[in-house]
Each structure stands twice: as C-alpha cells, then as structure tokens.
A and B are shown apart, each in its own frame.
Chain A
Amino acid sequence: MNSPEKKIRVLVAKVGLDGHDKGAYIVASILRDAGMEVIYSGLRRTVSQVINSVIQEDVDVLGLSILSGAHETIAQKILAAMKENAIDDKLFIVGGVIPDEDISKLKKMGVDAVFTQSSNYNEMIDFIRSRVN
C-alpha cells in the first residue's frame, strides 16, 4: 500500500491494433495534472509487453484504452496474465468506446472500472485515489 505522500503510478496502454490514441493522451495528461505519475505505452502493444511494463514500472494502476471493439478478448487476456503473474491486486481499468451491455460483462470478468467518452474525469480520479490509497 502506498503512503499518502507517494505518488500513484499509472500505466496507460494500447493493446492490439487500434490506433486511436486521443483518449489515451488526454487521460494521461489529466491524471498527471491530478498528481499521478503516468507512463504511456504507445500503440500496438502485446499483452505480455504490457504486463512486463506493469511489473517493471511497478505501477498501481493499469488503464487500457480500446476503441476497436476487441475489449472483451483483450481484457480477458490481461486479467489472466495478471493472475498468472500474481499482480491481480493492481487496479485494472478499461476506457474507450464500450457499449453499455459490455460494461457489466467486463466488470463481472474482473475489470475494476470502465470509463467511456462521456465519463467525468473527476470521477475517474476519485475512483483511482479511493482504491489505491
């Protein structure tokens, strides 16, 4: 657990072939402004690359941005890999174009929170702070 003084560390990641990264950049910038340390993975990462970064960078939060409709497949793979690497205590958030009916599916799967383009950023910041600290 982090002491309140320690900065919350976040990895914002893009997995798969989706090239839309506006949301990733905006989220990274907003979380930085909220005092967190944010790393952005860049485009087209594989699940294992992202999991390695989570471990190496010792982040508290993994935020995945997906706008290609592949969210179920990718989230499933990430969750399995987190478990396998015993890092499933870390916060795992999905953001992007996610239809409402899929949000509950993702949460049931084990995703901690889902945010979409109409979400409020303060809500996201509060959620991360309440769960990490």
Chain B
Amino acid sequence: MSEKDKLLKIAQAKKQWEEGVLAKGLARLGQSTSPCRFYTPADMEDHDFLEDTGFPGQYPFTAGRNALPIHVPFWGRGKAHGVGKSVRHAFGYSGYGTPEDLRDYYIERAKGPAPAGGPNIAFDLPSQTGYDSDHELAEGEVGKVGVAVDTLADFETIYEAFTGDRDIDKIGSNWTVNGTTNIILAMYCALADKRGIPREKLSGTPQNDILKEFAARGTQVFPVEPSMRMTRDTISFCANNLPKMNWTSVAGYHMREAGATRVQAVAFAFVDAIAYLEEGLAAGLALEQFYKQMSFLNFGGGMEFLKEAAVRRAARKVWAKIMRERFNAAKPSLWTYKELGGGVAGYWPMTKTRPLNNLVRVALGAAFAAMIGEPPVCEPPFDEPLGLGHSNEARQLAADAARIIAEECKLMDVQDALAGSYYVESLTSRYEKEIFDIIAKVDELGGAVAAIKSGWVKERIVESAIAFQRQLDSGEQIQVGVNKYIEPDEIEILIPRNSPYKAERLADAQQRKIAALAELKKTRNAAKVAAHLEKIENAAKNPNENLIPLFIEAVKDMVSMGEICQALRRVFGEV
C-alpha cells in the first residue's frame, strides 16, 4: 500500500470512529460535540521524518540543536557545580544596591553550595538607560532593580568578589544591559587591563539586543539607527578583540512578556537577529568571524505547553533554513543558534494571588522543556509577582523542582520525546509556516530596523497583549485564583520568604551611591574628563569609527556612564 493510500485509510477509519464510537461516547456524556481532538498520521500528511524532524544535531535540527543537549552531561553535579567547564557559566541573575552591596552578596554566595560561576548582573534602570545615579530621572530607581554602576570604580568594587581561581579570565560574566553595553564592555576591558589579564581571555554575554528594547522593554538610550551603529561597534570590537565574548543575547522573551503571541515572539527575535547579522556583514566581517558569538536568550513562554513545545521545535528548523538559505552559510555549524532554553511557562502567566501555584506552573512547563531537549529550568521562582527579588525559599523550591523532573521523572533520558507526536509535529509545521509569514511581512516593510522604527512591531505586540487581556476578561482564558476559583472558601497560601538581599542596605543605597559619586568626581582630573568627552563626541559623528576603544580610555580616567551617554546624545539625539 502506498503512503497516500495508508493515510486515506486512516482518514476513513477516523470518520467511522467519529460517527460510531465517539458519537456514542459523547451521547452517553450528554455532549453534542467533542471538546477534545484526536490526531492521527493524516494530520501530518506531508511530514517526512528525515526532512522535517531529523536527528538531534543534524539539519533541520527540529529534534534538537545539538547531538546531545549541552546541559545533560553537566546535570546533577549539584554542590560540585563549579568543576570543569561550568565554572565559565554565569548564573543566578542578581543585583541590588550599591557596588559594595552586590560585592558582599557575591562573597556570601561563594560560601554557599554553588560557589563557582561568574556573576549574572542585573543593573538598575539608570545604569541601563545611561544616567548617573545623581540624575533627576534616577530618583527612586538607584539600586532598585539591579546594582547601580556609574564608573569603573563601581565595576572594580563588584569584581573584588571575583579574584584568584575565580578571576575574570576564568569565569564568564552576564550583564543585562542593552543601550549601555559598549560602556560596560569597556569597563570590563579596563578592569582586565588593570589586572594584567589579556583581553582575549574575557568571556561573557551582554544582552545587547537593542531592537527588542524599542519593541518591548523600553531601555533604549539612542534612536534606532545610532543604536544599530553601537551594535555594529560591539560586533566588530568583539570579533577583533574579545573572541570569547558573546556580543548579544537575542531575546524573543521580552516581546512575549510584553504580549506578543508565541509565533510573533520567535519571528520578531529572528528578524532582529537577521538585522544584527547584516550589520556584522556590512562591517566587512565574514559570518565565521562573528556568528558563533551570537547567542539567544529564549523565546519566552506561556501556559499552553504543547504549543510552546511545538513553536520551539519550529524555531530550530526555521533558523536553520534562514542560515542556510538566506545567509548561504555553508557549514552546518552555522545553522544552529546558541540558546539558554528552558522557561517554557514564561514569567507573565505568574499570578500574585495564591502565588505557590506558580511553582506548579513553571514545573509543568519545565517538564515540557525537558521533553524537547531543553533544560528543565523552573524559572521564575514562585514569588516573582510578589515584588522585586526572589526569596531563598522560592529559589530552593525552583531548584528542587528541576531536580525532580530530571532525576526522579527522568525526563531527560529521551531526546525530544515529543518527536513523532501527530499533534506536535503538525503544529510544528504550522508554526514554521506562520513564523516565515511574519518574517516575509517584515522584509516587505524594509526589514527589522524599518519595522521597529515605524512602530509596526510594537503595535503588533500591543495588539496581541490587549487581545489576550480581553480573553481573560471574558473568561475565555483562565487564570486559576485570578478569574476563576475565587470564591471565599478557596484558601490563600503563603509561606515564609527571606530575601538574600539586605533590606537595610537597599533602603539607603541611593544616598550612599550619590555620595560616593560626588566624592569620586572630586578626585578626578577634570581636564582629562573633558578631553575624553570631546573626543567621544567628535568620534560619534564619524559612523566608521569604533567608539569602544575611546570608552575604554575614558572609563580608566573615571569618566562616568552618564557623562559618556550625554556626549553621545548630543550627536545621536535622545529617545
């Protein structure tokens, strides 16, 4: 029997089943139509295993970007997390207060069960948007959502927690900064120079995904075009000087959090990534010189886990095609992206009421991540919506949930266990097409830069966010404990929470930081500061000049981030 005949037979059999067994079953339960659907091979009619799924680590990578998911061999080392390769991995997104506060936090953390690994630094909003701690707009924000960094002195203080066998040539650092990336990179280079460490030994990841800031996260510092020039500077500076530094972490995640649908989040992340790669090529680099240092954060998530699993599988395949067909990359090693993965439930579905339910949400999502070969990371900790900063208790529960998924449920034992599911495969193909449709639409609009500039991407995201909210309001979408099951007999369960951050330090962080900055400004050579700023302002006018070397020299003379950004704003304009 031919394949086509087999499928025809199945389709016929399904019809009989629907009219017979199913109809009877529905009638017995008093249902006129079935609320569920059963999928068969007929639903993935054109599916070809080798062409559409393939083997992990092999084109089209639907079943996995790597032959063996890279988190698997490192899993379960627990307290010995610091051994071997994983010492390079930054972990534990953290940051608050002044540089001294964060340094002390890292010193404390080093005494705990997972001492190694570099810092994954959260910066406060003034540091992310290029304002010094003493700026009017910074009032109330200093040290709040992350650590306050004004000058190289601050960076030196934070990194006092990383010396000796954890010096910056041995660890990796993560920085959640976008618009101010190149100044942070300059500070890291300056720190290495001062410590006598060759710059090429530095490794890390600044987020540096500026296009999604305009679309979703809102910490852009300069208008779109000069922002892209800054990105081009990052790419070529890293390619020529910092071969181990990832120059971006492309984040569909933030766009999903801002309301994008799962397909939009992947498509928008890809069009942004395409724009960055084109910048690198326009700077005269070959893909081989910079592609491997492009990383992705993740695409965000949501609660409909089978769909989330399918869209991530589709993403792997779409990207492989983009690299092969659009960029004509010949080497298979250029067909996959570096990505953290995990976090299938996303952050936005977390609820403030009955917050322990969030642990259930992320753990279930993480189980699905494991079933498509991604790490079962149970992020965020359950108390995410309760305020800023996760408690030790919530972090413990999240870590344990991941361990249970991996080591009790053994969900990492099979690679892409969802491969071959009639439903998941048919959905994967559908999402592949939908992602390509959006990419084609953006191309039509002139590419990501044009689509961001015109506000088109942002409008689509807001539109999706509002549409979802309407579904929540109408009860079409359910959030347990929020819009359903909220009668008075339901119980609100809270457990004790202790912050790893010191509340008393947070309380006066702003005053201490402003005082320290004022003190530092007195000890600087004012003439040198002015000379650096003038040089930077002039160089900014020449789009072919890479500004990072100038930033490195400037930060060494304690020119502040706010001052550098102010000089750049005079040339680039404000947002």
Which residues on A are within 8 Å of B, measured CB to CB? 16-22, 25-26, 29-30, 43-44, 46, 68-70, 72-74, 77, 97-100, 102, 116-118, 120-122
Contacts and interface: CB of A to CB of B under 8 A. Distances in A.
A74 B140 contact: yes
A31 to B, nearest CB: 12
Given A18-B218, A68-B144, A25 B462 contact: yes
A44 B138 CA distance: 10
A46 B352 contact: no
Contacts of B353: 118
15 contacts: A16-B137, A16-B140, A18-B125, A18-B218, A19-B220, A25-B465, A44-B137, A70-B139, A77-B139, A97-B385, A117-B351, A117-B385, A118-B479, A121-B469, A121-B473
Nearest to A43: B218
B134 interface: no
Interface in B531-553: none
Contacts of A22: 257-259, 462, 465
Contacts of A122: 473
B80 interface: no
A72 B140 contact: yes
Contact of B352 (A20, A102, A117): A117
Contacts of A117: 351-352, 385
Contacts of A26: 465-466, 469
Interface in B439-467: 462, 465-466
Contacts of B388: 69, 97
B58 interface: no
Contact of B387 (A18, A25, A99): A99
Contacts of A98: 387
B387 A19 contact: no
A99 B352 CA distance: 9
B482 interface: yes
- Indicate the size class of the contact surface on chain B: 35 or more
Across the A-B interface, give the 9 residue pairs with the lowest CB-CB distance, nearest first.
A19-B218, A73-B140, A99-B387, A70-B140, A17-B125, A118-B352, A69-B144, A69-B388, A29-B466
A34 B259 CA distance: 21
B471 to A, nearest CB: 12
A30 B470 CA distance: 8
A120 B353 CA distance: 12
A16 B125 contact: yes
Contacts of A74: 140
B174 interface: no
B465 A17 contact: no
Nearest to B386: A99
A21 B258 CA distance: 8
A37 to B, nearest CB: 17
Nearest to B220: A19
B469 A30 contact: yes
A65 B122 CA distance: 21
A70 B144 contact: yes
B136 interface: yes
Contacts of B351: 117-118
A51 B380 CA distance: 36
B213 interface: yes
A74 B213 CA distance: 23
Nearest to A118: B352
Given A17-B129, A97-B385, A118-B352, A25 B217 contact: no
A46 B135 CA distance: 11
B197 interface: no
Interface string B365-393: 00000000000000000000111100000
A20 B125 CA distance: 11
A102 B257 CA distance: 24
B69 to A, nearest CB: 32
B145 interface: yes
A117 B137 CA distance: 25
Contacts of B141: 16-18, 68-70
B296 interface: no
B295 interface: no
Nearest to A73: B140
Nearest to A101: B387
A70 B482 CA distance: 25
Among A20, A46, A118: residue with most chain B CB under 10 A: A118
A70 B385 CA distance: 16
Contacts of A70: 139-141, 144
Contacts of A118: 351-353, 385, 479, 482
A20 B219 CA distance: 9
Given A17-B141, A19-B213, A26-B469, A46 B462 contact: no
A98 B387 CA distance: 6
B126 interface: yes
B473 A19 contact: no
A82 B126 CA distance: 25
A73 B139 contact: yes
Nearest to A70: B140
Contacts of A25: 462, 465-466
Nearest to A66: B140
Contacts of A46: 136-137
B276 interface: no
Contacts of B131: 17
A115 B18 CA distance: 48
Contacts of A72: 140
Interface in B185-224: 213, 217-220
A46 B257 CA distance: 26
A73 B506 CA distance: 13
Interface in B144-169: 144-145
A72 B217 CA distance: 22
Nearest to A20: B218
A13 to B, nearest CB: 14
Contact of A17 (B138, B466, B469, B479): B138
A114 to B, nearest CB: 12
A35 B94 CA distance: 43
A116 B352 contact: yes
Contacts of B139: 16, 70, 73, 77
Given A17-B141, A22-B465, 10 more contacts: A16-B125, A17-B219, A18-B141, A19-B218, A19-B220, A46-B136, A68-B141, A116-B352, A117-B351, A118-B352
